[in-house]
Amino acid sequence: MNHLQIPLFYIFALAAIASSIVVVKDRRPTYGVLALAVTMISLSGLFVLLQAYFVAVIQILIYAGAILVLFLFVIMLLGVSGAEETQEISRKNKITSIAKMHRNIKILLGLTLFSELITVIFALQDSKFPQGNFAGTVEAIGTALFTNYLLPFELVSGILLIGIFGVVNLAHKELQKPL
């Protein structure tokens, strides 16, 4: 297992980064959602390498199984043509230099944030992972959830309940006249 860790880490990390770049760059929303599914699955592979087995399974179940399906439902509901970005063509007719400058500023902002994060990370003391019998199994996570983290757990259920109220309230709104 130990000698497989290095290639597996690089495979999963590169897959996650490449597919998230596809999410950000591809103009078709359906492809973006499918690429995000690849990101989630590779991230859950990284979680398995980190011995967080329960979190890895939950990642696949909730993200790939529930959240991304919700995204796909909404894209289908709005119509794929409606969800696609049609502004690009009309924008090309306008002055593109300002748009290009804005884009460069955004790239610069992202790179600044990234370099800042990297500086902070390398200021940390690098540590090897302990080779003990520590693992995030269902039993260990369940024990932690229902002893030390009982109050936050209940609060999260409250947040989910409020979310359900909000969504049902929004879904029952009468359609206004188009403005």
Partner 1 sequence: MISLNHYLVTSGILFAIGVFGVLTRKNIIMILLSIEIMLNAANLSFVAFSSALGDLGGQVISLFVVAIAASEVAIGLAIAVLIFRNRGILDPNEMNLMKW
Site for partner 1 in 17-56 (CB under 8 A): 17, 20-21, 23-24, 29, 32-33, 36, 39-40, 43, 46-47, 49-52, 54-55
Cα 84 from Cα 82, distance rounded (Å): 6
173 near partner 1, judged by CB under 8 A:
yes
Cα 95 from Cα 35, distance rounded (Å): 32
Least Cβ distance, residue 20 to partner 1 (angstroms): 5
123 near partner 1, judged by CB under 8 A:
no
Number of residues lying near partner 1 (CB under 8 A):
85
CA 93 to chain centre: 34
Cα 33 from Cα 22, distance rounded (Å): 10
Cα 75 from Cα 171, distance rounded (Å): 16
Least Cβ distance, residue 156 to partner 1 (angstroms): 5
Distance (Å) of CA 167 to CA 10, 17, 126, 136, 163: 40, 32, 44, 33, 6
Task: Report the site for partner 1 in 52-111 (rule: CB under 8 A).
Answer: 52, 54-55, 58-59, 62-63, 66-67, 70-71, 74-75, 77-78, 82-85, 87, 103, 106-107, 109-111
148 near partner 1, judged by CB under 8 A:
yes
* Residue whose tokens read 């590169």: 14
- Options 76, 96, 101, 166; binder of partner 1; rule CB under 8 A: 166
Least Cβ distance, residue 166 to partner 1 (angstroms): 5
